[in-house]
Structure 1
Amino acid sequence: MTPSSRTHKETALYENKPGTGVRKVHHKLMVIDGRLVIAGSLNYTGPATTLNDENVVVLGDLEETDPDAEAA
């Protein structure tokens, strides 16, 4: 793979062409009150939470955001 353009010296853009090994990932990003970030492939539907294989990353401090909250 060769970069098709450079936007920053540490960042390269690769074209998604057959045979390059580049794949697409469709992720969602949610920022809650500027304190929590939830990112991942999860669709916000019932079937996605029970039937699909998804990935989710939560960044932030849940207790700082809501002292009464319990971590899963």
Structure 2
Amino acid sequence: MKVTADRDVCIAAGNCVLTAPDVFDQDEDEGTVVLRQEDPPEELREAVRRAVELCPSGAIRIAEP
């Protein structure tokens, strides 16, 4: 799994951080998404998928081989 996050599209809702805090964080100044792990371990992948579903702006995407 490869995770990408587009900070220009992010509206700083914070759902990703609440859902997968080991993978996502928020910028202190703007509140936009900060990607902590591009290739999360297996045990975090379901939470990442849920974060993608909950992202209201569509700023987070995943690609799976």
Q: What's the TM-score, normalizing by structure 1? A: 0.23
Relative to its length, the structure with more helix (as a share) is: 2
Point out which structure has higher relative CO (alpha carbons under 8 A, 6+ apart). 2
Larger gyration radius, structure 1 or structure 2: 1
Q: What's the TM-score, normalizing by structure 2? A: 0.25
